Structure 1
Amino acid sequence: MQGAYQGTYQSWQDAPEAFWSRAAENVDWVTPPKTIFDPNQGVYGRWFVDGVMNSCHNAVDRHVEAGRGDACAMIFDSAMTGTVRKFTYAELQTEVQAVAAVLRNLGVTKGDRVVIYMPMIPEAVFSMLACARLGAIHSVVFGGFAAHELATRLDDCQAKVVISASCGLEPGRVVPYKPLLDHAVDLAKVKPDACLIVQRDQHHAVLRYEHGDIDFAQAVEVEKVKGTVVPCEPVLATDPLYVLYTSGTTGQPKGVVRDNGGHAVALMWSMENVYGMRQGDTFWAASDIGWVVGHSYIVYGPLMAGVTTILFEGKPVGTPDAGTYWRVIRDHKVNALFTAPTAFRAIRREDPEAELLTGYDLSSFRTLFLAGERADSETLKWAERHLNVPVIDHWWQTETGWPVACNPVGLELLPVKHGSPATVLPGYQLDALDDEGHLLPRGVLGNLVLKLPLPPGCLVSFWNADQRFRDACLSEFPGYYKTADAGLIDEDGYIFVMARTDDIINCAGHRLSTGAMEEVCAMHPDVAECAVIGVADALKGQVPCAFVVLKNKVERDEALISREVVGLVRDEIGPVAALKTVMVVKRLPKTRSGKILRGTMQKIADGMPWKMPATIDDPAILDEISEILRSHGYAAPSQPVAAIA
């Protein structure tokens, strides 16, 4: 007998356009789409091309119009300040309209770009939805990102306005944002017309009125008092909702473009069928709005589905202890939590026997979802044992916008295989190919790829860079989107994602480009060349490790140079880069053609079996690298296996 998952997947396979047409009925359309998919538009085709709608209306106004204005839309819980604020849909509508009015007064109209550089505070969500209300395109940059990184994004999207705050809060410290923003604006070639600044009590920023700085709260309050009404701007389903930048392999940011219509359809389908959420439930994605998880499952997904969303400012440990997550679940009767495995590794490290769970009523809690990096089996089993709820590992990317593979608890709970995010979801056909593009048998490791067209909700291109999108994601395996992940599909159709196939590493759920870090390391005046690899870390999954070759006749202290390189990366990319280990080496292992053997270095660092590349220029260099790694506490003794013929 066919189960709910298999029956749903089969219905998509048999008639994909009919499947997504039915899903689209959950969206409020100004003009419902007649053409569900047009293969001749966009890079690989476009969904709902003649549909007209507004994402803010679907997240906010339609609930008010349906008589749910008094229902709780969002709960802000700051473990940093002890503040809890709740917003109904009607209150959310008032706040969003006021911010939209301020933006409209600044000349922001449909299609303009607004950069949001904010901590996890309600004003950040209001700002995202206000942009969507106007048909403007928001680009959220993770609060505290270094000025250089912010400047590249300001230039790439040509932001008209920036919305920011005076500071962010971390355990034990306050992080002023305004100096970073000021420096970024100074660096940027394209200057914003204005910067709206939320002044927080913990730190007040100096506003540069001559540069267009505006006090956010004062400007918004004026519009509230006036009762300004800002209607939702009708936009095409194919119009961009946001641009979200993710690390590029060359250090140049990739602006992932998400459209309005497909995004709304996919997220609403996933809230019910993937996450098992129904109207009136409470969903907590313990992420940040700077990442795709925050876009999809703090802001748009839950609100569109009529689900209460939790906006949390804090950390899994240290705010004040490793019981913070249990407090939030208890206080707000959370039904499902979505977080990164790193969070649970940190909780487990601080409270290995889960003693802090004692006394917390978690009777509302139904499901834990883990994503953002590979979930190690021991952490997953620890969570299962202590929480007594299904612990669901799932896999997706910034580019897809919603899960590719997951145990779909909203349809049915499939048998769990630790180490696997279960099976592929409707909308996706996932294959494993060899490097020549041939389909691999079940159980054989290869390149994980998604058959085109991608489903609604996935990226449509990179911002102003269609050819770059084709070259980076579609050209290597014609007819497929390259995920840049390596893995296998077993006999039961379960997916095992093993590693990245490019130079993006995953550090505590943050995708970081080692290429970008190498560019910064090379900026140091004493560095001749360098290589950055990701090495395994018990807490963060991976952390970057740098090897630098110094220029000739450099006589300065190597330890001092290493500290300077660490500081340089921190200044240019930000503390999220987490680079702490810089090793000075005499030379880097390379092929005869000059390619640095980063993959081999990474295997040595992780103590894994490795092969002596047949094309290596000088095999003795790898022995030197092994010795240096061991002196830094890496590279458990391992021997190379037989050389590649």
Structure 2
Amino acid sequence: MWLPCGCTSKYVASSFARRILASHLHVSGRSRCNVAAFMPEAAGFEGVSGRAALRELSVSNSESFWAAVARHRLSWSIPFHTVQDCDLSRGKIKWFEGGKLNVSVNCLDRHVHTCPERVALIWERDERGSEMKYTYRELLEMTCRVGNLLRRHGVKRGDCVTIYMPTCPLAVASMLACARIGAAHNVVFAGFSADALAERIRDAQSSTVITVNQGVRGGKVIELKKTVDTAVESCPTVKQVFVAMRTDNPVTMTARDIAMEEEMLKEDVVCEPAVMNSEDVLFLLYTSGSTGKPKGLVHTQAGYLLYAALTHRYVFSYHDGDVFGCVADIGWITGHSYVVYGPLANGATTVLFESTPIYPDPGRYWDMVERLKINQFYGAPTAIRLLLKYGDQWVNKYDRSTLKTLGSETGGICIAPRPSDPDAEIVPGMAMRPFFGIKPVLIDTEGELLTSNNTSGALCMAQPWPGMARTIHNNHQRFIETYFQPYPGYFFTGDGAYRSEEGYYQITGRLDDVINVSGHRIGTAEIEDVVNQCPAVAESAVIGYTHSIKGQGVYAFVVLKKGIDVKEADLSRQLNGMVSEKIAKYASPDFIQFAQRLPKTRSGKIMRRVLRKVVESDLEGLGDLSTLDDPAAVQEIIQGHEKLLSKNRP
């Protein structure tokens, strides 16, 4: 008998295996067989006769569902005794307590035991046609060498290693090596500036950094080691930097730098895995916040790995033997989950894409699909929008017959068109269906639940799931304030959503001050902080606007200090340079509008809603302006916007 939701489940693995077998022998009816073939764990659930019933059970009896899936899909050193201990009102999330395991063993060793020569990674290097393949055995050996190297140089269980590398096999091995020895990793996107990297190193308190001499992307060489050198000057915690060689070009090495590949050759190919608790930290990943300071979201071992593996298999209809191609950078959560952990936990062949969608031409993706025989392709919406302007000829030029799934989204997956019945409809542009165990709700501005369809509201989750972040590093209060306080008792995603007549969900955009530029989430406050550091600037307001290629662009309103005499074009260049240096090039404003003043409430708060409407040319939707301190400020902003647009028209 499965325990009802809310009780503590204490079944051991052997008991579960017997239960599955006993249930399987008594399965009757074709649909029951079909759902068990789709998800073997379903054979253990009484009365589940189809995918819809399985999804319903995963929500109504989530403990039983997640317990069965966790026991079946992860290899445990010691089984867990408590499925979940969560309280959304307090931001408390714990899954699979008592359980012990090692993530790298789940991603590598268990596959090496059964199929050591299966290809784990296909590295699609920047140079087209020069891909390299690594088997599970080779990846395990590389991971063990890195793990032993880190241990020999003093990296201990619980330490945090910062990784600043392009998407490449050694970056994956470095992530898995951290997991193997019990250290957390903090992967920083290799497009971030030295200042942004330094801030993340300091917050994570890393003493060890792993990087490469240079990156190569879109035919250009990127000086990553130089960026690290600049960053660590302001990071007193950093004691050592491991430097791998992506190119043959030598770089200046200091006393703290270690030649990584050279030292790896001295290490054994066997590395004893640490036995980790389910809720030990697996990694930190910094995401942009609306307060200006990036927040280090913490993900833990078992729950994260299970959710990444399950969504990888069922959202993308992955089957054993498929070649999975997610073109995200490993520096983002999509890359962590669907380039590294999800595919490797499932024993998949996963593609590491180092280049850009238009190098050396706009056919790069489809050439890769044909050449590598990719079965599932997962790309960013920005890249797809970019390719649209080049027409269909680049797509039609290549054989795409191996493709079974074509997906586009950003971030973690909780709502997606699949899994669903094989003949169920897919509506373009809609997230559609909640995943197993996910219970979305829409809430209005008064905090009331919206129960009808054909309605919009704030997208929240009514119950926890294993893949949730657990906290913000060193700032649990901020975690609570960001995700749990806006709608008490619910997890707030930060997005607005629309629920159609059919009950399908469509994400309508961010509700906070975070914008998404080419798949990179950036807090508007972060950009404002940099702009405001300019001696000529009195204040600024940054908003996102709809961009046909990037999804969202950056639009900055800037008020200068009195008495400043400077050419606007020169100052614009200076401000863009500052943002590029302090954050990253993608965060630089597309438009900078200089204004005498910004529209504010009587209490002095900038009315960003009004600025957004002006930039969107939705003057009818300006709404209630009764709280404005000086309504004339809005007219000045409108006129300035029109003037800026006319200047930039071809």
Q: Please state if 1:321 is matched with 2:321.
A: no
Shift of 1:358: 3.6
Q: List gaps (5 residues or longer) in structure 2.
A: 1-30, 32-47
1:331: which partner in 2?
Answer: 371
Of 225, 237, 246 in structure 2, the residue corresponding to residue 200 of structure 1 is 246
Q: What are the residue-to-residue correspondences of 1:254-403 with 2, within 5 Å?
A: 254-317=295-358, 319-350=359-390, 352=391, 354-372=392-410, 397=411, 402-403=412-413
Task: State the superposition RMSD in angstroms.
Answer: 1.9
2:40: which partner in 1?
Answer: none
1:191-245 per-position Cα deviation (integer Å, ceiling 9, x unaligned): 2121001123264321112xx100111111222xxx3421111101111110000
Distance in 2 (alpha carbons) for counterparts of 1:615 and 1:635: 32
Amino acid at match of 1:256: L
Q: What are the residue-to-residue correspondences of 1:451-490 with 2, within 5 Å?
A: 451-452=462-463, 454-490=464-500
Q: Is the 8 A contact 1:255 1:462 kept in 2?
A: yes
Q: Please state if 1:62 is matched with 2:73.
A: no
Shift of 1:155: 1.1
Q: Is the 8 A contact 1:529 1:548 kept in 2?
A: yes
Shift of 1:52: 0.4
DSSP-derived class of the 2:270 partner: coil
Shift of 1:578: 3.6
1:424-445 per-position Cα deviation (integer Å, ceiling 9, x unaligned): 1122111111122101232222
Shift of 1:109: 1.6
Distance in 1 (alpha carbons) for counterparts of 2:231 and 2:299: 25
1:128: which partner in 2?
Answer: 175
Amino acid at match of 2:375: N
Q: Is the 8 A contact 2:116 2:135 kept in 1?
A: yes
Q: Please state if 1:149 is matched with 2:159.
A: no
Distance in 2 (alpha carbons) for counterparts of 1:446 and 1:230: 50
2:616: which partner in 1?
Answer: 606
Distance in 2 (alpha carbons) for counterparts of 1:156 and 1:33: 32
Q: What are the residue-to-residue correspondences of 1:12-161 with 2, within 5 Å?
A: 12-24=58-70, 25-39=72-86, 43-65=91-113, 67-80=114-127, 82-161=129-208
Q: Is the 8 A contact 1:144 1:168 kept in 2?
A: no
DSSP-derived class of the 2:161 partner: strand
For residues 405 and 255 of structure 1, do their structure 2 counterparts lie closer, same or farther at Cα, with a shift above 3 Å needed?
same
1:268-293 per-position Cα deviation (integer Å, ceiling 9, x unaligned): 22122221112221111111000001
Shift of 1:611: 2.3
Distance in 1 (alpha carbons) for counterparts of 2:224 and 2:118: 34
Amino acid at match of 1:134: I
Shift of 1:411: 5.5
DSSP-derived class of the 1:449 partner: strand
1:629: which partner in 2?
Answer: 641
Shift of 1:22: 1.2
Of 563, 571, 591 in structure 2, the residue corresponding to residue 553 of structure 1 is 563
1:115-143 per-position Cα deviation (integer Å, ceiling 9, x unaligned): 00001221111100110111110000000
Q: Is the 8 A contact 1:273 1:410 kept in 2?
A: no
Shift of 1:417: 2.4
Distance in 2 (alpha carbons) for counterparts of 1:13 and 1:445: 22
DSSP-derived class of the 1:502 partner: coil
Amino acid at match of 1:356: W
1:381: which partner in 2?
Answer: none
Q: Is the 8 A contact 1:56 1:130 kept in 2?
A: yes
Shift of 1:327: 1.1
Shift of 1:540: 0.5
Task: Identify the range of structure 1 (416-425 vs 454-463) with the bigger mean alpha-carbon deviation.
Answer: 416-425
Of 618, 621, 631 in structure 2, the residue corresponding to residue 619 of structure 1 is 631
Of 592, 611, 627 in structure 2, the residue corresponding to residue 582 of structure 1 is 592
Distance in 1 (alpha carbons) for counterparts of 2:86 and 2:294: 28
Shift of 1:34: 2.1
Of 262, 266, 288 in structure 2, the residue corresponding to residue 222 of structure 1 is 266
Distance in 2 (alpha carbons) for counterparts of 1:316 and 1:553: 47
DSSP-derived class of the 1:592 partner: coil
Aligned length: 597
Distance in 1 (alpha carbons) for counterparts of 2:179 and 2:647: 49
Q: Is the 8 A contact 2:419 2:435 kept in 1?
A: no
Shift of 1:81: 6.4
Amino acid at match of 1:503: D
DSSP-derived class of the 2:521 partner: strand
Distance in 2 (alpha carbons) for counterparts of 1:557 and 1:172: 35
Amino acid at match of 1:617: D
Amino acid at match of 1:562: S
1:568-614 per-position Cα deviation (integer Å, ceiling 9, x unaligned): 11110011214232121111111111111112211221223422422
For residues 206 and 268 of structure 1, do their structure 2 counterparts lie closer, same or farther at Cα, with a shift above 3 Å needed?
same
2:536: which partner in 1?
Answer: 526
Amino acid at match of 1:446: G
2:429: which partner in 1?
Answer: 419
Shift of 1:152: 1.1
Distance in 2 (alpha carbons) for counterparts of 1:408 and 1:162: 38
DSSP-derived class of the 2:343 partner: helix
Q: TM-score, normalised by structure 1?
A: 0.89
DSSP-derived class of the 2:306 partner: helix
DSSP-derived class of the 2:155 partner: coil
